Structure 1
Amino acid sequence: MSRLAVVTGASGGIGEQIAAGIARTGAAVVLVARDPARLDLARRRIRGAVPGAELETEPADLSDLAEVRALADRLGARRPSIVVSNAAVIAPIDDRTPEGLHRSLVTNHLAPYLLLRSLAERPAAGPRRFVVVGGSPSGLARTPVDLDDLNLESGRGLGWPPSFRPFVAYARTKNMNAMFVYALASRLAGTGTTVNGAHPGIIKGGRLDRYDRGALKLFGTVCSVFAGDTATGADTPLWLATAEEAEGVTGKFFVKRQAAETAPHTTDPERLDRLWRESARLVGLPADAGREPSASDTGADRTSPPRPERGRPS
């Protein structure tokens, strides 16, 4: 039986590139994204690039927590050994889900929290690698998560002009990604499941800019001058998901395959715990993690909880 991998946001951009790279290793890959038609096109493109690739599609709207729960149930029964959380959106500030949650918050943070935590709390068939695609550690250093206003109820601190505020909200969710990586890795220490984050760089060819207006659109145009291609963006997440050198590495954030330091506000233990507990409340899970797979589930020896490595950003 082939190893099973899951990649979210896989209907194009770096998600498609990551899925193709994993398929080249011989693993079966489940492509997850909202649009069934775009997913099918991505599957055809990957099969053209990787003849014989074993691919499936799982249409799911990751801004809908009910769909994320159902996805986690379906995937959990199959025990994937690789999960790459890549899906993201820069949504307008007034874009709310039916549950009243900001769409960027749900898609970018709560969905991976719910999916990866749900999978992590099931017994594993063997070692697993979870990879969360985040943002630039240096670029996000001045945009700490407002733990008292995750859902942007007050909108404080989003700055001016108003057209740029969706990007600030997005930046906060990318810091949430790093915080979630550290919190989940600590909880899964010694279980055989590793959790790491990666910054893909500024990349052309995605759909993050589809809602851009005004100053944000201008900002995106300027950034695109320096942007790399999707293959470049996929490199570090793919490396973390498949490379022998990354085996056993956990609780770290990587830029260009190098462990990088993220801002102190993303590593503070009290802030990590607050975000974990508030996220649990918002997705309807108990604050305390459920059953953690033991060493007997994975064949791994237990070790002390990892600490995020402090290194020089690339």
Structure 2
Amino acid sequence: MPSTTNAVVTGATAGIGEAIARNLAAAGMRVTLVARNDDRLARTAHRIRTEVPDADLRLERADLSLLSDVRSLAERLADPPPDAVVSNAAVMAAVADRTVDGHNPTLATNHLAPYILLRSLIKPIGDRPARFVIVGGSPGGLRGSPVDVDDVEANVRQGLGKVRSLQPVRGYARTKNMNAMFVYALAKRLEGTGITVNGAHPGIIRGTRLGAEQLRGVNRVFALTSQLLFSPGGPDVGADTPTWLVTSPDVDGVSGRFFVKRRAVSTARHTTDPARCDRLWDETARLVGEPAGIR
């Protein structure tokens, strides 16, 4: 795909997101880094330019847990519209936490933000070809975390089990299943356009903190110590498949698929059922005040 195209990477100031951004810059793309902290954005840009001296970078600060920030970001990204968007940002917040919009930050950042952002960019992109890549979770590991499609908010506050330290993890897992369902629902709605939508599981990668700094007490300890169980491959390994989905001619025209290690895989039935995906789409639209239709 590259030949000086515009790419956007959310959650770009650490781990997999930074590695994806660096890869795309090295491929000659103009890359917009999106994160919620100006200092981290500046430091990340410096690190990338150290390795890719001619990197063409744009920095955009936005807190993706805030719906107003997401909508403002979409307006800024629309000119010029992106040729590729990698939705990578994800957090794991405490169950009781709420944003100013009244949503749990895990739900808002991991599901509501990409739902609003990618929908908002469809019209500016128009008839041009573009690729949306959504970084999701392990298809096998998430089979036991089905989404309640009738109550989107309930997924991160109810039925999370009695072990308090695991409750944020289970809520996070449900939002990762939402990511897969969003891939299928959006791809269906974009059939016949030049925009493709695919998901990718990067692997359980050491160095990805999942917003552990937002957690407190035993929840924060659990999130940090769980890193000891993660793959030693590092962010570069995790960035490989998302980068490939943006840049490779092998996936020209491929849409509505989920990839692990560059191979299309099946996700759980409860994530692929068209009626469930449509229900999640409609309920999310209602929750964020958007029409169900996109065209």
What TM-score results when the alignment is normalised by the length of structure 1? 0.88
Q: What are the Cα deviations for residues 82-119 of structure 1, in whole angstroms up to 9, with x where unaligned?
A: 10000000000011011111111110000000000111
Corresponding residue number in structure 1 for 2:206:
204
Shift of 1:220: 5.6
* Matched pairs, number: 290
Corresponding residue number in structure 2 for 1:238:
243
Structure 2's unaligned 5+ residue stretches are none
Q: Which has the higher helix share?
A: 2
1:16-165 alignment, distance < 5 Å: 16-124=18-126, 126-152=128-154, 155-165=157-167
User: 1:81 touches 1:129 (CA, 8 Å); kept in 2?
Assistant: yes
1:280-295 alignment, distance < 5 Å: 280-290=285-295
Provide the rounded CA distance (Å) in 2 between the counterparts of 1:141 and 1:131: 21
Matched to 1:170, the amino acid is Y
Corresponding residue number in structure 2 for 1:311:
none
Provide the rounded CA distance (Å) in 1 between the counterparts of 2:224 and 2:269: 27
Q: What are the Cα deviations for residues 127-164 of structure 1, in whole angstroms up to 9, with x where unaligned?
A: 10100000000000000011233213893321120121
Shift of 1:278: 1.1
Q: What are the Cα deviations for residues 227-262 of structure 1, in whole angstroms up to 9, with x where unaligned?
A: 230001111111101112122111000111111110
How has the CA–CA distance of structure 1 residues 78 and 101 changed in structure 2, closer, same or farther, with 3 Å as cutoff? Answer: same
Moved over 6 A (4+): none
Structure 1's unaligned 5+ residue stretches are 291-314
Provide the rounded CA distance (Å) in 2 between the counterparts of 1:195 and 1:70: 22
Provide the rounded CA distance (Å) in 2 between the counterparts of 1:200 and 1:144: 20
Provide the rounded CA distance (Å) in 1 between the counterparts of 2:223 and 2:46: 33
Q: What are the Cα deviations for residues 195-225 of structure 1, in whole angstroms up to 9, with x where unaligned?
A: 0000011111122133265377447635533
Matched to 1:26, the amino acid is G
- Alignment partner for residue 271 of structure 2, among 266, 275, 296? 266
Corresponding residue number in structure 2 for 1:214:
218
Matched to 2:148, the amino acid is D
Corresponding residue number in structure 2 for 1:181:
183
How has the CA–CA distance of structure 1 residues 153 and 100 changed in structure 2, closer, same or farther, with 3 Å as cutoff? Answer: farther
Provide the rounded CA distance (Å) in 2 between the counterparts of 1:153 and 1:218: 20
How has the CA–CA distance of structure 1 residues 285 and 74 changed in structure 2, closer, same or farther, with 3 Å as cutoff? Answer: same
Q: Which moves more between the two structures, 278-287 or 105-114?
A: 278-287
Provide the rounded CA distance (Å) in 2 between the counterparts of 1:153 and 1:84: 24
- Alignment partner for residue 225 of structure 1, among 222, 229, 246? 229
Matched to 1:89, the amino acid is V
What TM-score results when the alignment is normalised by the length of structure 2? 0.93
